[in-house]
């Protein structure tokens, strides 16, 4: 195991700095390639995880807003706005994640249905099985369902 590779285990930030220096100096032969590949893969997965988390949060509060009108709060409205804005920022930085968004849209909705049902005590079957919210609405920070 190389010194740089062992540094990955013992001091991640120093490992990062050394690899960054090597990249800037074009010292490609000395890079810890295996761990760099892993970290780059993780970066992509982290962005996807953030997208899913924000999408679920929008769905959760849209469902509560729609199906618990007597309990509507500014906190729910703010959460819808915040997480919608976060999704838009993700797409601004990484437009290619739009396709991933479309692929996980229904799955995130189903997960949000379950979470909201458990959180509120509302029977899951009250919530539509097919997502009632269009993606354009979810990405509109001003959208609130009737």
In contact, 97 and 47? CB cutoff 8 Å: yes
Whether 36 is covered by a domain: the verdict is no
Q: CA-to-CA distance for 16 and 36, rounded, in angstroms?
A: 9
Whether 131 is covered by a domain: the verdict is yes
Provide the angle, in degrees to the nearest 10, between the axes of the packed helices 74-93 and 33-67.
Answer: 150
Whether 33 is covered by a domain: the verdict is no
Q: For the chain, what is the largest distance between any 2 Cα atoms, rounded to a whole number of angstroms?
A: 64
Q: CA-to-CA distance for 114 and 129, rounded, in angstroms?
A: 11
Domain count, the chain: 1
Whether 20 is covered by a domain: the verdict is no
Whether 41 is covered by a domain: the verdict is no
DSSP string covering the chain, please? --HHHHHHHH-HHHHHHHHHHHHHTT-GGGS-HHHHHHHHHHHHHHHHHHHHHHHHHHHHHHHHHHH-GGG--HHHHHHHHHHHHHHHHHHHH-TTHHHHHHHHHHHHHHHHHHHHHHHH---GGGS-SS--S-HHHHT-TT----
Whole-structure pTM value: 0.82
Q: What is the pLDDT along the chain (146 residues), one digit of tens a residue?
A: 578 888 888 998 999 899 999 999 999 999 999 989 988 888 878 899 999 999 999 999 999 999 999 999 999 999 999 999 999 999 999 999 999 999 999 999 999 999 999 999 999 999 999 999 999 999 999 999 98
Whether 22 is covered by a domain: the verdict is no
Range of the domain at 115: 49-138
Q: CA-to-CA distance for 135 and 62, rounded, in angstroms?
A: 12
């Amino acid at each position: 195991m190389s010194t740089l590779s062992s540094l990955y285990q013992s001091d991640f930030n120093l490992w990062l700095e050394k690899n960054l220096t090597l990249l800037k100096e074009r010292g490609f032969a000395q890079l810890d390639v295996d761990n760099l590949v892993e970290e780059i893969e993780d970066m992509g997965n982290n962005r996807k995880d953030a997208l899913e988390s924000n999408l679920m949060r929008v769905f959760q509060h849209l469902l509560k807003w729609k199906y618990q009108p007597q309990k509507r709060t500014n906190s729910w409205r703010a959460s819808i706005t915040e997480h919608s804005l976060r999704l838009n920022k993700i797409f601004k930085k990484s437009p290619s994640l739009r396709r991933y968004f479309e692929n996980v849209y229904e799955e995130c909705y189903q997960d949000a249905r379950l979470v909201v049902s458990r959180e509120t005590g509302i029977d899951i079957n009250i919530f539509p099985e097919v997502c009632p919210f269009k993606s354009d609405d979810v990405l509109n920070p001003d959208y609130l369902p009737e």
